[in-house]
Amino acid sequence: MKFHRIIALLLVIAPVLSVSCKKDEEEEVGEYLSGSIDLVFPSYVTSGYTKQFRIDTMSTLYRGDKLHKVGYYFTNPTTGKSDTVVFDGGVANPDFPDGVYTFTAPDKLDRYSISVTGYSKDYYVKSASVSFVVVDPRLDGKGSITGFELEDDSPLFVDPRDSRRYYTTTVEGKEWFRQNLGWEGAGKAYKDADAMSYIFGRYYTWNEARTACPPGWRLPSDEEWMDLAAAHGGAAAPDSYDIAGAAASLMEDLKFNGETMWEYWPDVKIDNAAKFSAMPVGYATVLDGVYDFFNYGDYTVFWTSTENEDGDSGIYRYIYVDKNIVFRGAGDKDSFAASVRCVR
């Protein structure tokens, strides 16, 4: 193609491109919906968990002219489809009477996101979305926690208060829970999601932990923790309550929804020799009844029944991911929350 023919062709195309860009700009012009959408859903749910969303109680969206009501649709993370609950103009879809949308969590253990969008002619859409994780409390290799060593005759205790089952281990004549206490009569579940109560266990303040164990069981003392660690090679460091050489025997190489919980460190050869199955679910702080959760994947923290010398705080034992040490710490009795293992 000769040069002058190329120039001619460009002159023909250029106006078309100009018109196209202008049209796109005109289509983008619009007004914004006012108000907000309050979409609330737990961070963790079990498969089959069902929740109903009612548009008129969760949204305050409106147009500037206030003459035309807004429509809404949900995007289902399982199907990927959009379900129109209320049509543009405010008329409820007959398939969703009264503008109520029912969502059921999928079966697969994974992370998902659900969203709702408000829309109206000549207005930009406004959306809200939340992410959640589907979990399963079973320990048979099909639940969220895998790698938990079980045998056909693994000792088992059933809490008469809620029928929750706990596997146990016996060390030096003392029987210990192998799982964190999940009794819902006190404490708080991880991220305030009750589905996590029997997976990570609940987080209790010291004052709650003292009476949280089932009948016949108790919160272990610091001395009992020292005996537990000593039975598996632990020795108190000079001038310290910390116990070196025992953490790996209390830790188990577990996975949560397929992801390794304890990061690998060469100084910590996890073998779970005590069959204690410690998992790194961190701890929580409590302020005005609000729980903030910290250091999942790095720490496991357990209350003891022992108070510090002046009685203003409770003693806890903890393991950090990269040290083969059972550390000793102290926390406020009402503003620090940790896991509980019961003993008898």
DSSP 12-28: HHHHHHHHHHHHHHHHH
What proportion of the chain, given as a percentage, has pLDDT over 70?
90
pLDDT of residue 95: 96
- Give the bridge partners for 287, in sequence order: 290
Q: CB under 8 Å to 54, separation ≥6 — which residues?
A: 98, 99, 100
pLDDT of residue 344: 97
Pinpoint the alpha helices (H) of the chain.
3-28, 55-58, 206-209, 222-230, 247-250
3-state SS of the chain: helix, strand, coil percent to 5? 15, 35, 45
Instruction: Give 15's pLDDT tier (boundaries 50, 70, 90).
Output: very low
Task: Name which residue leads in pLDDT, 20 or 303.
Answer: 303
Instruction: Give 21's pLDDT tier (boundaries 50, 70, 90).
Output: very low
Domains of the chain, with CATH numbers?
31-135 (2.60.40.10), 145-338 (no CATH)
Average pLDDT, rounded, for the chain: 91
Instruction: Give 67's pLDDT tier (boundaries 50, 70, 90).
Output: confident
pLDDT of residue 111: 97
In terms of C-beta density within 10 A (0-12 exposed, 13-18 middle, 19 or more buried), how is residue 315 classed?
buried
In what helix (H) or strand (E) does residue 328 lie, and over which residues does it extend?
strand 325-332
Q: Which of 342, 314, 341 is nearest to 328 (CA)?
A: 314
Distance CA 187, CA 126 (A): 37
Q: Which residues of 81-109 are buried (b: 16+ CB within 10 A; e: fewer)?
A: eebbbbebeeebbeebeebebebebbeeb
Task: Name which residue leads in pLDDT, 41 or 234.
Answer: 41
pLDDT of residue 238: 63
pLDDT digits (tens, 9 = 90+) for 153-198: 899 999 999 999 999 999 999 999 999 999 999 999 999 999 999 9
Residue 258, Ramachandran bin (φ over 0: left; ψ between -120 and 50: alpha; else beta):
left
pLDDT of residue 234: 76
pLDDT at 5 over 70: no
